[in-house]
Structure formats: structure tokens, C-alpha cells
Structure 1
Amino acid sequence: MTRLFRSLRKTLTLTLTNQIPIQQQSLCISSPSSHIIPSRTYISQMHKEAFEGNISRLLRNEIQYELQSSSSSNPPADKFGSFLVDGRPGERWITLKRQFANENIKVEVTMFDGAVPAPKKSGGVANADEVQLHITLIVNISKEDGDVLEIMCSAWPDSIVIKRLLVRANKNMTAEPYAGPDFEELDDELQDSLYNFLEVRGINDELAKYLHQYMKHKDKTEIIGWMEKVKSYIEKK
């Protein structure tokens, strides 16, 4: 996106000049006694059309670039283990659902919402530009009595990290329940047990890897869709 708008700013002035025919450019500098000077409204309309045409061209180039760069990547499967995946096109979230014994499990997953510097490589230092992308998961596990166990997690490229958990006694309750202490403050054995609790339900490091692959593809798809909508709006008469 940065490259798109840098290009727009750099080429706009030249485009505006080139878009005006030579004869009309001369009207602006010739003697008023020998030529009719175009009205300000007419010139403004020409500038507007040149500006919009340039945006449309730049968006078209960006869309083509994104399509070519993603042509070799296959879309991820809409199923992972026992989870069915709803990609929710046009949104920043996806949803995974499954049954486990008498539990309904729903996992709400953001697109990439953060990053940290990549860890140092063994025997050297990671490139300063290398980062690890971060995804947020909200795991909701409900039973027949209506209570919901909500577990907030982070998904790094190869691991799930629990951040906090709470029990919602009623899905429709308006007040936010007490969320308990930070997960890292709990007893180590209790932490391990809760990780095993999620592992049994298919929420594990393999899921983290799948989600990062899925979100990379979704991010590319959403960017292309966004640019196509903007281009369509700009070109609308």
C-alpha cells in the first residue's frame, strides 16, 4: 500500500500535464484576444478525471501484482482436524467450530494483529527487519447448562500461548465478569494442565501453524478485494 500511494504522489503532477491536450495547454498561455480560455469548471473537471484515472491505473497495477504473486499458492483447507472453518470474507476474523463430547467449541480468530522481533538465530543475529506475526484467539467452550469457559490465547507461528481465562455464567449478561489473574501468575502445574486441556480439544501448536498459513492467504485475498472495491468506486460515473 505504501508503494501504491508513493507512486501516486510522484506521478500525479506529470499525469495532469500529459492528460491535457497540447491545443488546450496553449489556450492557457496564449493571448485572450485570439483564443477562448477554458472555464475554471472545465479545467477542474479535467484535473479530476486525470487524478481519478491515475488512481485507477495504480490500483489496477497493484491488483495485477498481488494476483501474480499469489498465483502459485493454494488456498488453505476449510477444515482442520475436527474443526470446520468459516473464512468470513470481508472481515478481520474467522471462526472455527467443533463438537467434543458434550461441549460446543467455538474459536474466534483475528487476522494478524501484532508482531515482535524475531528471535536470534543460533550462531548469529536475526535480521532487524524480521518479525514474528501474532494472532489472537478467543476460545469459547460451552456445555448444556449454558456456562461458557472463555480462554484468550495468542497464536505465534508455531505455538499457542494462553493469556487469560474466565467463566461466563450467562451469554447474555451485560456486566463483564472478573477475568482472573494473568495466566503466568498461576501455579506451573496448573498452567501445564490447562495447556493439556486445550491440547485434547485440538487447540495446539499445529493449529497455530495452520492459522498463520490461513491468515497469510486471507490477508492477500482481503487486500485484493479492498483494492477492487476502491477501484470500482473511483471509476463509477
Structure 2
Amino acid sequence: MWKKVLVGAAGIAATLRHPCHLIETRHSSTSISSAVNSMLLRSLKEHYLEIAKMTFPPKVDPPSPFTIVKGALDSNSPVLKRMYGDEEISIYVMRLANIVPGGGDDDDNNGIDQLFLHVDVSKPGQKDSLNFLCGLYEDAIGIHSVSMRTKFETSGYLVTPSQYNGPVFEDLDERMRDAFHNYIDERGVNESLFKFLQAWLYVKDHRHLMRWFKTVGVFVDGKKPAKDA
């Protein structure tokens, strides 16, 4: 037993007499970490510059009388709004591929030909609004569901319903389904929105991707992010 203790003590003493080993190991780890960071930063910069050179699609204006909501590119707010009599129509959009797992996987443009619309129809003095979830394509629009939802008065965001969310849309009879389609079409919610929303999503995706490369690079580099990052 004492022999083991003496051998262990001798090893500790040797380490204390030769701290260079610890310093070299620490320097080696730091060098490796620095090299990895540099490699990642170089890759991030290359991709950032490559994305920056991408050509945007031709500018498309939204169908009248819809107007673009200011700041929508950098938030989850509606993209378009319009008034229809005393009703306010709000349009939210995202790729269908982001909602339906595997949706758009066969498309070369990663599902940007299949859009998912969230249409909100609200009236003054009423706390609930009529909500449509739709699939939008270049030549057609399809309603997935119709429900009543409550809005936060301050933010305008919709509250996820906790009560009955309505029947399955496909279970409704054909006359009622057609009537709902006519209802949203009368308010301008149809395939005429597709070209604008497709181009708008392209710009938003590009902006978010650029910002992602930039903010990750700033983090890895250890610098404080810029105010507009």
C-alpha cells in the first residue's frame, strides 16, 4: 500500500516540477479551438457573400386594394391588409412545407409554389374574428378550415382556440363549401395574391438567411452584435 502511495506522490511531484506539459496542452487546445473558429468564420463569410449575390425576382405589387403591412418582413405580423366595408381583412403567409411535414419536398424551389394562408376577417365591436386557413397555389386556392378566434386587442395576434374549432371543412356539404369560397373570393382572397406573396416570401427568406449567417458569425467571433443584426 505504501508503495502505491509513494509512487503516486512521485508522479504528482514530477508534474509539479514540470508544468510545461500542462501549458503545452492548454496552448494546443487553444490553437485547435482558434483554428476551428477561423474555419467556421471563413465558411460563414463565403456563404454570406454568395447569398448576397442572389438575384431577386421582379418586384410585384399586391392586388388592389390590399396594402403591405409595414415591418412585416421582420415580424410575424400580417403581410397584407384591406378594408371591405367595415371589415378588416388580414393576410398572413408561410410556406405550406413549413406546416405539412414533407410538403413541397419534390419542388426545386423548396416548396415556395405552395403557400399557406391564414386569413382573418374582423369587425368593429366584436371580440371574435372569422378565421380561414387556406392553401394557395398559382392557379387555385383551397380552404382547409374555418373557425372563430379571439384577438389580443393590443398585438392583433390570434389566440389559439380552446373551444370547439368547427367541423372538418371537407365534411361540409358542397353548397356550403362553395359559399365559403365565394365569401373569401368576394374579399379578394384568391389566386391573384399568389405572385406577390411568393415574391415577398423569397425576399423574407433571403433577409433571414443573410441575418442568420451574420449573427452566427458575430457570435463565433466573440464581437458584440450590431444594433441592426
TM over 0.5: yes
Q: 1:188 to 1:174 in 2, by over 3 A?
A: closer
Q: 8 Å contact 2:95–2:111 — kept in the other structure?
A: no
Give yes or no for the alignment of 1:100 onto 2:81: no
Give 1:117 deviation, angstroms: 6.3
Give 1:50 deviation, angstroms: 0.9
- Residue 137 of structure 2 is matched in structure 1 by 156
Using the alignment, how far apart are the partners of 1:186 and 1:174 within structure 2?
22
Using the alignment, how far apart are the partners of 2:109 and 2:216 within structure 1?
31
Q: 8 Å contact 1:152–1:164 — kept in the other structure?
A: yes
Identify which of 69, 76, 82 aligns with 2:65. 82
Using the alignment, how far apart are the partners of 2:161 and 2:132 within structure 1?
18
List gaps (5 residues or longer) in structure 2. 1-19, 153-158, 224-229
Give yes or no for the alignment of 1:109 onto 2:90: no
Q: 1:109 to 1:130 in 2, by over 3 A?
A: closer
List gaps (5 residues or longer) in structure 1. 1-35, 119-127
Residue-by-residue CA offset, 1:112-171 (whole Å, 9 max, x unaligned):
5142466xxxxxxxxx96875433222111112313111111223432210111224x53
Q: 8 Å contact 2:81–2:90 — kept in the other structure?
A: yes
Give 1:95 deviation, angstroms: 2.7
**Aligned positions of 1:47-196 closer than 5 A:** 47-70=32-55, 73-74=57-58, 76-77=60-61, 79-86=62-69, 88-91=72-75, 94-112=78-96, 113=98, 114=100, 115-116=103-104, 132-133=111-112, 134-146=114-126, 147-168=128-149, 170-171=150-151, 176-196=162-182
Give the TM-score, by structure 2 length: 0.70
Structure 2 counterpart of 1:96, one-letter code: L
Decide which structure has the larger Cα Rg and report it.
Answer: 2
Give 1:51 deviation, angstroms: 0.7
Matched residue count: 190
Q: 1:76 to 1:143 in 2, by over 3 A?
A: same
Q: 8 Å contact 1:110–1:137 — kept in the other structure?
A: yes
- Residue 15 of structure 1 is matched in structure 2 by none
Q: 1:185 to 1:137 in 2, by over 3 A?
A: same
Give 1:107 deviation, angstroms: 1.8
Across the aligned residues of Structure 1 and Structure 2, the Cα RMSD in angstroms comes to 2.8
**Aligned positions of 1:37-52 closer than 5 A:** 39-52=24-37
Give the TM-score, by structure 1 length: 0.68
Name the structure where strand makes up a greater proportion of residues: 1
Using the alignment, how far apart are the partners of 1:228 and 1:100 within structure 2?
41
Any idea what SS the aligned residue of 2:36 has?
A: helix
Residue-by-residue CA offset, 1:84-120 (whole Å, 9 max, x unaligned):
22353444665321111010111222245142466xx
- Residue 210 of structure 2 is matched in structure 1 by 224
Q: 8 Å contact 1:56–1:235 — kept in the other structure?
A: yes
- Residue 183 of structure 2 is matched in structure 1 by 197
Using the alignment, how far apart are the partners of 1:229 and 1:174 within structure 2?
31
Q: 1:52 to 1:74 in 2, by over 3 A?
A: farther
